[in-house]
Structure 1
Amino acid sequence: MDYQSTRGKVGGIPFSKAVLMGLADDGGLLLPAEIPRLTPGDIDALGKLDYRELAFQIISLYATDIPAADLRELVDRSYAAFTHPDITPVVHKDGVFILELFHGPTLAFKDVALQFLGNLFEYLLAADNARMNILGATSGDTGSAAIYGVRGKKNINIFILHPHGRVSPIQKLQMTTVTDDNVFNLAIRGTFDDGQAIVKEIFGDVDFKQRYSLGAINSINWARVLAQIVYYFHAWNRVREQTGCNSIDFAVPTGNFGDIFAGYVAKRMGLPVGKLLLATNENNILTRFINEGDYSVGEVRPTLSPSMDIQKASNFERYLYYLLDGDSAKLAAWMQTFNETGRLPRDEALAEKVRRDFASASIGNDRTLETIRDFHAGTGYILDPHTATGVATARVLAEGSRPVVCLATAHPAKFGDAVQQAIGQLPPMPQSLAGIEERESRCKIVDADTQKIRAFIEAHAL
């Protein structure tokens, strides 16, 4: 399986090289040259597998240059760190199926991909006797999951930018209390979008990228999306077993479009997905695009679901590539327009095409708290604020003819303040977070300035 850039100037790249490249050298995002199409019989057979074997089978369709025995070992090792035997279990509460993606080391869905990617990086670097300096920006959960995925690993340093004062206290502590020598936390005076722009600018300097062997661990790395495809197949089978229904909707809280894009790829592979229900908070650029065809940048607003406080969805370009039927030249022109004006061209015909696969709602803080409160009162189950936006969206948009799976993207203990506002009590604290406030921490506060970040990397890179 070869990989190519959304912008058309990079292609013919094997999976291993695509993983190490991260962002394509032409500024685009890498995609497989084709998406494998599975038959109903193939999907039924996959449904009989446990999570690890399912992950191996799906990832092996795309990672064709890694020996099967090595890939199986990487998958097994990656999911050994999860505390639930089903890795991503599905529970049924109040008419909604909750896909719990928070049983990994940092209690967030990012662990599903980043435990795998961290092991994959180490494997590929050892094979080539190479080194890597990972650079990424986070709105909260990617940072800690990435750090836990590569902490202490050989031949890897990691530099993570997070917006100072704009992540939850637990998210901050999960990042900054990892003090391994290869981990560097940078709190920037700005927003996540500022951090992501710095990362993309630095990756866009191909000479600098190659000189310091920069690697990407954000969802711009295709391996992130690939690992997330697996749990759509897993959840679909679990719900079909319980309901007998073949077509299922998924409600997905998202700000960066990576998690829901994995669902879109699963659907293109043949998984019987009905609608993808995209949930945003008040930072609703994706909702406006789906409902109105308006993709224009606004001011980032702090909310109770900070991991979604994003106005530029860095993974959105991959979907645009398919929306434009693979027209790389048109996509490159669109992205140039977006970079210059902060908005994409409107096209009503394309907007109608979008709504065949997606529906979307924007859920504000009051509705988020109300959903956490009502869901807890009715079921005893505690939602984190991001998952609550997904549940609220499902209640608004689900047609009732198909079961709905809502992706639970984080453990509620990561957002205890919001939960306490909603239900009057803190959620139970998992053992992995016990005493985290007392642990040694390390972080450097810096301006959201590309040159200062470059200088820091130069001073601390491998």
Structure 2
Amino acid sequence: MIYYSTHHHTPRVSLQEAVIKGLAKDKGLFMPQHIKPLPASFFQDIEDMSLQKISYEVADAFFGEDIPADTLKQIVYDTMNFDIPLVKLNDHIYSLELFHGPTLAFKDVGARFMARLLEYFIHKEGKEQVNVLVATSGDTGSAVANGFLGVEGIHVYVLYPKKKVSRIQEQQFTTLGQNITAIEIDGSFDDCQALVKSAFSDTELNRHMQMTSANSINVARFLPQAFYYFHAYAQLKKKGIEKDIVACVPSGNFGNITAGLFGHKMGLPISRFIAANNNNDVFFQYLQTGIYTPKKSIQTLANAMDVGNPSNFARILDLYHHNYEAICADISGATCTDNQIKEEIRKVWKEQHYLLDPHGACGHRAIREGLKSGETGFFLETAHPAKFKDTVEKIINEPIAIPLNLQNFMKGTKQSIELSKKFSDLKQFLLNS
């Protein structure tokens, strides 16, 4: 498969180069030249397929031209070796629980898949070391750090905003050591993301070290997230629900919902999507006005969604050929304030004894208010509520249990490098690494 840049000012590249480079030379995001439709037979039998089988068929449509079938199958089956249950909350709303991976967040799948794919390509190319730079607003850092931990030939630098991630999230990527370096930036997530993009475009740094990204700007990170949506559809079809299905996605950098939209283009029978924002509502405002106006991110309870200039908006525009009406036909928007997040968590806990995390609360509220008569919806519950223990306990006024693997992270010693948000400081640090 050939990949092109969303800016269209650089030569097209192979999957291998797109994965290793991460970002195009013109700072655009890579897009596959073609989106391969899945055959009707796949959807006819999908309800009888395992999560691993579904994921392999989707992965083959994305990557099968570039990776031997047995290698790709091994990567998928090793990556998708945990459950993603679809939990019924009422007759019309389901929760797709994506927090059953190693770090209890939906990004585990993409991070683990990318780690294996990148390892395959760097060994194939004979590279000695590739350095992964990743900006995180919370869960990306922990998923990537744990997905790449101990992978030979890869060193990971996690940039995160000081005092703007939960303590459990921070512990998951600052306590690992080995080939993981945590860098605490005195700024916002947007500052961290800007630093990563500046590093990729710096000539001197690129001569010094081979760099790539593990944010959802990398095709190997965001595309595997399409697996979730096919799996959710399979589970609904097994229950006899095949039409008028709505998917609601808590959205920050928009990699997750973009992966779902790719699935839709491949033939996935989801009728429409709802993008749930917190107070960082630039996409919601775009849907209302047709004008995209990035702004400085605002800190909220749903911190992984605190993005004021989502990178993957460029992919959505490209996917729909910059057709505003077509985007609005497939995607609607919703916003959720911190007070509404608290109300939603309390309401669902009291009425259904189901505990939402702050991001899932945004998704649940959006789909609860946005479903139309005759529709069935699922929202993506993206992280375990225990990752936001202090916040959630204060909201429901009850203690919540911490899963064992999170308890183990809390025992580790924090190891991080503190830097300003000036690119010159990060550049000097990397040059000396």
Tell me the TM-score normalised to structure 1 length.
Answer: 0.90
Picking from 394, 406, 427, the partner of 2:379 is 406
Please state how far the C-alpha of 1:438 moved relative to its aligned partner.
Answer: 2.8
Q: Which residue of 2 aligns with 1:280?
A: 277
Please state how far the C-alpha of 1:420 moved relative to its aligned partner.
Answer: 1.3
Q: Which residue of 2 aligns with 1:338?
A: none
Q: Which residue of 1 aligns with 2:69?
A: 68
Instruction: Write the letter of the residue equivalent to 2:428.
Output: A
Please state how far the C-alpha of 1:208 moved relative to its aligned partner.
Answer: 2.8
Instruction: Write the letter of the residue equivalent to 2:384.
Output: H
CA contact (8 A) 1:2 1:11 kept: no
The change in CA–CA distance for 1:298 and 1:13 in structure 2 (over 3 A counts) is: closer
Q: Which residue of 2 aligns with 1:93?
A: 89
The change in CA–CA distance for 1:47 and 1:31 in structure 2 (over 3 A counts) is: farther
Please state how far the C-alpha of 1:201 moved relative to its aligned partner.
Answer: 1.3
Please state how far the C-alpha of 1:68 moved relative to its aligned partner.
Answer: 0.5
Secondary structure of 1:220's counterpart equals coil
Q: Does 1:262 find its partner at 2:235? A: no
Question: For 1:219-259, what per-residue CA distance to the aligned partner results, in whole angstroms no more than 9, with x for missing partners?
Answer: 00011221001111110110121143333100100111111
CA distance in 2, matches of 1:102, 1:263: 17
CA distance in 2, matches of 1:166, 1:278: 23
Instruction: Write the letter of the residue equivalent to 1:67.
Output: P
Structure 1 ranges of 4+ moved more than 4 A:
none
Picking from 110, 135, 138, the partner of 1:137 is 135
CA distance in 1, matches of 2:152, 2:52: 25
Please state how far the C-alpha of 1:206 moved relative to its aligned partner.
Answer: 4.8
Instruction: Write the letter of the residue equivalent to 2:72.
Output: L
CA contact (8 A) 2:158 2:181 kept: yes
Please state how far the C-alpha of 1:202 moved relative to its aligned partner.
Answer: 1.3
Query: Greater CA deviation, 184-193 or 208-217?
Result: 208-217
Please state how far the C-alpha of 1:16 moved relative to its aligned partner.
Answer: 2.0
Please state how far the C-alpha of 1:291 moved relative to its aligned partner.
Answer: 2.2
Q: Which residue of 2 aligns with 1:53?
A: 53
> Aligned-pair RMSD on alpha carbons?
1.5
CA distance in 1, matches of 2:395, 2:373: 27
Instruction: Write the letter of the residue equivalent to 1:403.
Output: T
Q: Which residue of 1 aligns with 2:250?
A: 253
Please state how far the C-alpha of 1:299 moved relative to its aligned partner.
Answer: 3.3
Q: Does 1:26 find its partner at 2:26? A: yes
Q: Which residue of 2 aligns with 1:340?
A: none
Please state how far the C-alpha of 1:439 moved relative to its aligned partner.
Answer: 1.5
Question: For 1:67-117, what per-residue CA distance to the aligned partner results, in whole angstroms no more than 9, with x for missing partners?
Answer: 11111111122233x3xxxx2111101341111111111110000111111
CA distance in 1, matches of 2:131, 2:10: 22
Q: Which residue of 1 aligns with 2:311?
A: 314
CA distance in 1, matches of 2:261, 2:163: 33
CA contact (8 A) 1:16 1:66 kept: no
Matching of residues 379-398 of structure 1 within 5 Å: 379-398=352-371
CA distance in 1, matches of 2:7, 2:207: 20
Please state how far the C-alpha of 1:294 moved relative to its aligned partner.
Answer: 3.2
Please state how far the C-alpha of 1:158 moved relative to its aligned partner.
Answer: 0.6
Picking from 234, 257, 265, the partner of 1:237 is 234
Query: Greater CA deviation, 389-398 or 239-248?
Result: 239-248
Instruction: Write the letter of the residue equivalent to 2:276.
Output: A
Secondary structure of 1:276's counterpart equals strand
Picking from 225, 228, 237, the partner of 1:228 is 225
Q: Which residue of 1 aligns with 2:122?
A: 125
Q: Does 1:173 find its partner at 2:171? A: yes
CA distance in 2, matches of 1:210, 1:237: 47
Please state how far the C-alpha of 1:139 moved relative to its aligned partner.
Answer: 0.4
Secondary structure of 1:244's counterpart equals coil
Please state how far the C-alpha of 1:188 moved relative to its aligned partner.
Answer: 0.3
CA distance in 1, matches of 2:137, 2:426: 17
Q: Which residue of 2 aligns with 1:344?
A: none
CA contact (8 A) 1:285 1:297 kept: yes
Q: Which residue of 2 aligns with 1:334?
A: none
Please state how far the C-alpha of 1:382 moved relative to its aligned partner.
Answer: 0.4
The change in CA–CA distance for 1:405 and 1:206 in structure 2 (over 3 A counts) is: farther
The number of equivalent residue pairs is: 430
CA contact (8 A) 1:253 1:278 kept: yes
CA distance in 1, matches of 2:345, 2:213: 34
The change in CA–CA distance for 1:244 and 1:201 in structure 2 (over 3 A counts) is: same
- In structure 2, runs of 5+ residues without a counterpart are none
Picking from 335, 338, 343, the partner of 1:365 is 338
Please state how far the C-alpha of 1:261 moved relative to its aligned partner.
Answer: 0.6
Question: For 1:272-295, what per-residue CA distance to the aligned partner results, in whole angstroms no more than 9, with x for missing partners?
Answer: 111110101111111111122232
CA contact (8 A) 2:244 2:374 kept: no
Instruction: Write the letter of the residue equivalent to 1:279.
Output: A
Matching of residues 288-327 of structure 1 within 5 Å: 288-324=285-321
CA distance in 1, matches of 2:132, 2:207: 12
Q: Which residue of 2 aligns with 1:186?
A: 183
Instruction: Write the letter of the residue equivalent to 2:73.
Output: R
CA distance in 2, matches of 1:266, 1:400: 24
Query: Greater CA deviation, 447-456 or 38-47?
Result: 38-47
Please state how far the C-alpha of 1:456 moved relative to its aligned partner.
Answer: 1.3
Instruction: Write the letter of the residue equivalent to 1:105.
Output: P
